Amino acid sequence: MLNGRFILYVLGLLLIIEGFFMLLSGGVAYIYGEYDLLYHLTSAAISIVLGGTISFLTKGVEKHIGKREGYIIVSSVWVVFSMFGLMPFWLSGAIPSFTDAFFETMSGFTTTGSSILTDIESLPHGLLFWRSIIQWLGGMGIIVLSLAILPILGVGGMQLFVAEVPGPTPDKLHPRITETAKRLWVIYLGFTVAEVVLLLFGGMSIFDAVCHSFTTMATGGYSTKQASIAFYDSAYIQYVIILFMFIAGANFTLSYHAFHGRFKKVIQNEEFRYYLGFVLGISVVIGTVLYFTESNLGIERSFRDALFQVVSIITTTGYATADYLLWVPFLSLLVFVLMFFGGSAGSTGGGIKIVRVVLLLKNSYYELKRLIHPNAVIPVRFNNRAVSQSIITNVLAFVVFYIFIFGAGTIIMSIMGFDMVTSLGAVATSLGNIGPGLGEVGPSENFAAIPDFGKWFLSFLMLLGRLELFTVLLLFAPAFWKE
Amino acid sequence: MRVLIFGAGEVGTHLAKMLCNANHDVILMDEDEEKLQQIEAHYDLMTIVGSGTSIGNLKEANVRSSDLFIAVPPFQDMSILSSILAKKMGAKKTVSRINNNEYLAPDNKEYFFQLGIDELIYPEELATEEIVASLKQVGTRQLFEFSDGKLVLFALKIRDNAPICNKTLAEVSTMHEKQNYNTVAIMRDGETIIPRGNERFQHNDLAYIITTHDAIPQVLEDAGKVQFEVKNVMILGGSLIGVKVAKLLESDYNVKLIEINKERATKLADILEETLVISGDGRNLELLKDEGIKKMDAFIAVTGNSEVNILACQLAKKLGVKKTVAEVENIDYIDLAENIGIGTLINKKLIAASHIYRLTLRSNVAHVKCLTAVDAEVLEFVAKENSKIIGKPLRKLGLPKDVNIGGIIRGDEAIIANGDTVIQPDDKVVVFALPSGISKIEKMFA
């Protein structure tokens, strides 16, 4: 029997938490004295009252979370958070269309960063802040946050944790899941604060520094400026953001080890090495080509632009300092391929994830060896350990789903009348939680022109991507609902 | 408390679950990844694939910061070695499971202590003690003595013929001038009930009763148990437990031991001087009849196979043996065996687990006893000067619903607790607690 009352109870509690964050952005609106204050407060009141009522009515229920309850809670909380999170945008009239508001909010929570706004700077500060903080919450994960602050979820918390944290096998930093969640959030918060301070040194205003730090650490990509990071013509600011995007795209477990002085563990981590290798290697290629094709850029600028775009796309942040669509086709295509890599497991990034890409490539390469030596036992080794066959199968299934959904999604987009490049870009960027796509949805364009159905469809893809396919797809599997 | 468990066998797994429920930080280590995955999916603990005998793996498990290291791998050598390593690497306390009687001798224990093993657990030894204790008091399912038998806890099956059947606890307490026993729990249809005064005894209830030594005959009479003396004992299975039980009983009882393996039987006949060792299959009814099973007062089935033990006991009951004891190692069978009326059930893993569990509790817990049929523990606490529990009558303390205070030992006197009882410092208090209540009651004694 599905424990439906407990699911409602948890959702109610989480809604209260969302309400408190709305109050926080209400505080920002109050400081700036802008018109949106009332709408933040209304949204907060609705969320807190409704959440409180639901959890009050269902309290005292048996606190048991099985596998199915876990997947339902995690999937539905992201939808519920977006449904309520869109209220400040929608009620205030800043985004008059409900579909647009949902798209913008889902794109925020899933840290995609695709926007339908055509004039971001016209938004009041409170709404800009809300837009950034939903990315920050979605980055480390709503469930991980709740595990850290709601002890009640400790029971069966592992089910929830597994369903939300990216990567094939989540690491634990502490025997207890609530403690692991706390440590992750402390590191996350610590990096965010550090970035704010460094950006302030670069001359950014405190408001912009906070908002950009939120969306960098979440690998979200919402900026408070229409021109994104290109607005800041400062090499220092761009390098700071590159550094923090890179950190956010690495496994947070590694940051934890680094803080404890265990640098060897970081350096020896195979995924991290590949991550670093991909970033540097591809940046050098792009930088070199840029230097020779864009004569006016100069050597530092070429490599900075290359590094920024590469880190931004591979970590699925989606900030832009240059329009990669204006580069030579070879480079645009390279960036497109990068969209599928994604960050590391246990990071805030989306995409397929480096570890999966590497495991699959290794497995395919070993398959050649296996053909020559049919009786040989050749396990895939990762981090100097043989990876169990069940994980390889899981990764294979993931990538097959990913490619299939990508293909089917592209076809659906093209039915709506978009050209091939735009369709490919829009689906890849939504599924990978990146932000900018190709063609009509490139880095200097936005998603406003997509029809309503397309926006709902892309929002769904974002959710699929953020929860790494399985969590959401499971809900559509008949086996999931059979007793 | 941070606990590192090496070995995800049945004892290790059971301990991990118990400790998790008691909110300890548990790390479970084993070489079998699949076993670990299953546990990790259901419990809030960390698992590490590796061996406790590997220094690298121990480091990875951060043994340095663990408060307790429990070694319960399949082999004794691994268990001892891993505890020695763990202690040297900084574990505060270490426990090893062993299977050699010699090591337990007080003189020899010192060697292990010097090596860094604080506590040795020998599950077969503990199981043997329990079997022998249950034979001493027929009519009961399980029996524990506290403070040299001043207080006794036992489990009794209530049947239609019991005078207290269909009476409430309040009515039962008025049956005698002085309340001299206390029902701390009732197990009914697989559920453990902490009874209040209005709870009614029903047919087939398993009642957990705490009483003083002198009042035992009266309790048995109220429960409709006919007293008889055990003279003839038949043991099925020449396992370690079987041999140990035979060894302990053979001087006072007529003991017959049936062992299926001829070689083993020959060896046992050499060890057991007074026991009649029979080589044969205990599942053979003719053999049992030939050996006079009908004349037996007690039948103890301790083969390595739980199914055989259960069925053999069932058979013995049918043939008229009044007291049967079965070793049931498959934890899932316990409920079933309890319901079909096997008699006393022994599970050495559960016994060992609760023995080790005591070490994770604060020092004011003197004993923990595991109750086989119910998911609960009986603990003996020592009240301190500043414990919350002292100075007030029990009914005014607001005790948690999932615990029940059974009795108190004050100096040489044993007291059966009721609502008016006031606990004093240095009292030893026997408490029955469901898993959810252990940490709550522990705080009240802190």
Is residue B376 predicted with pLDDT exceeding 80? no
Binned at pLDDT 50, 70 and 90, residue B365 comes out as low
Digit-coded pLDDT (tens) for B296-318:
888 999 988 888 888 888 888 88
Name every residue whose Cβ is closer than 8 Å to that of residue B326 and which is 6 or more positions away in sequence.
B301, B302, B306, B309, B310, B312, B313, B337, B342, B343, B344, B345, B346
Residues of A within 8 A of B25 (CB-CB) are 174-176, 179
Residues of A within 8 A of B2 (CB-CB) are 175
Task: Give the span between the Cα atoms of A65 and A71, in whole angstroms.
Answer: 10
- At B126, phi and psi to the nearest 5? -65, -40
Count of other CB atoms within 10 angstroms of residue A480: 13
Binned at pLDDT 50, 70 and 90, residue B138 comes out as low
Q: Do A67 and B41 touch (CB under 8 A)?
A: yes
Task: Give the span between the Cα atoms of B381 and B217, in whole angstroms.
Answer: 27
Task: Give the span between the Cα atoms of A337 and A358, in whole angstroms.
Answer: 15
Sheet architecture: strand order including B254-259: B276-279, B254-259, B232-236, B298-301, B323-327, B344-346
Are B345 and B337 contacting, i.e. CB atoms less than 8 angstroms apart? yes
Binned at pLDDT 50, 70 and 90, residue B222 comes out as confident
pLDDT for position A436? 85
pLDDT for position A285? 92
Is residue B20 predicted with pLDDT exceeding 60? yes
Interval A47-66 mean pLDDT: 84
Q: Does A177 touch chain B (CB under 8 A)?
A: yes
Q: Do B44 and A176 touch (CB under 8 A)?
A: yes
Highest mean pLDDT range out of A353-367, B361-375, B429-443? A353-367
pLDDT for position A160? 76
Is residue A152 predicted with pLDDT exceeding 70? no
Give the residue range(s) of CATH 3.30.70.1450 domains in chain B.
Answer: 131-222, 352-445
Is residue A49 predicted with pLDDT exceeding 90? yes
Give the residue range(s) of CATH 3.40.50.720 domains in chain B.
Answer: 2-121, 229-321
Q: How far is B49 from chain A, CA to nearest CA, in Å?
A: 11
What CATH number labels B352-445?
3.30.70.1450
Classified by CATH at the fold level, domain B131-222 comes out as Alpha-Beta Plaits (3.30.70)
Digit-coded pLDDT (tens) for A90-135:
998 888 899 999 999 999 999 988 888 888 888 899 999 999 999 9
What CATH number labels B2-121?
3.40.50.720
pLDDT for position A444? 79
Structural tokens at position A282? 């591809």
Highest mean pLDDT range out of A4-8, A357-361, B42-46? A357-361
pLDDT for position A385? 82
Second CATH level (architecture) for the domain B229-321 = 3-Layer(aba) Sandwich (3.40)
ipTM score: 0.71
Interval B253-264 mean pLDDT: 88
Are B157 and B141 contacting, i.e. CB atoms less than 8 angstroms apart? yes
pLDDT for position A154? 57
Q: Does A174 touch chain B (CB under 8 A)?
A: yes
Distances (CA, A) of A263 to A217, A254, A272, A373, B106: 21, 9, 12, 39, 47
Is residue A2 predicted with pLDDT exceeding 80? no
pLDDT for position A212? 92
Count of other CB atoms within 10 angstroms of residue A215: 31
Closest Cα partner for B158 from B211, B215, B219?
B219
* DSSP one-letter code for A388: P
Q: Do A176 and B40 touch (CB under 8 A)?
A: no
Interval A331-353 mean pLDDT: 87
pLDDT for position A155? 60
Q: Do B2 and A175 touch (CB under 8 A)?
A: yes
Tokens 């220094």 sit at which residue? B55
Binned at pLDDT 50, 70 and 90, residue A153 comes out as low
pLDDT for position A156? 65
Task: Give the span between the Cα atoms of A63 and B406, in whole angstroms.
Answer: 30
Q: Is the pLDDT higher at B298 or at B21?
A: B298
Beta bridge partners of B370: B377
Average pLDDT over all residues of chain A: 87
Q: How far is B375 from chain A, CA to nearest CA, in Å?
A: 18
Residues of A within 8 A of B40 (CB-CB) are 158
Is residue B9 predicted with pLDDT exceeding 60? yes
Binned at pLDDT 50, 70 and 90, residue A405 comes out as very high
Which residue out of B44, B54, B59, B62 would a mutagenesis test of the A interface target, given it has the greatest number of A Cβ atoms within 10 Å?
Answer: B44
Is residue A66 predicted with pLDDT exceeding 60? yes
Query: Which strand (E) or helix (H) includes residue A213?
Result: helix A206-217
Is residue B140 predicted with pLDDT exceeding 70? no
Q: Which residues of A170-200 are buried (b: 16+ CB within 10 A; e: fewer)?
A: bebbbbbbbbbbbbbbebbeebbebbbebbe
Q: Do B33 and A154 touch (CB under 8 A)?
A: no
Q: Does A175 touch chain B (CB under 8 A)?
A: yes
Q: Do B41 and A159 touch (CB under 8 A)?
A: yes
Q: How far is A75 from chain B, CA to nearest CA, in Å?
A: 19
Find the closest chain B residue to A159 by CA distance.
B41
Structural tokens at position B153? 């806890």
Are A79 and A85 contacting, i.e. CB atoms less than 8 angstroms apart? no
Q: Do A155 and B44 touch (CB under 8 A)?
A: yes
Task: Give the span between the Cα atoms of A33 and A125, in whole angstroms.
Answer: 9
Is residue A71 predicted with pLDDT exceeding 80? yes
Beta bridge partners of B186: B193, B207
Is residue A401 predicted with pLDDT exceeding 90? yes
Is residue B163 predicted with pLDDT exceeding 60? yes
Binned at pLDDT 50, 70 and 90, residue A257 comes out as confident
Tokens 């939680």 sit at which residue? A433
Average pLDDT over all residues of chain B: 82
Residues of B within 8 A of A178 (CB-CB) are 44
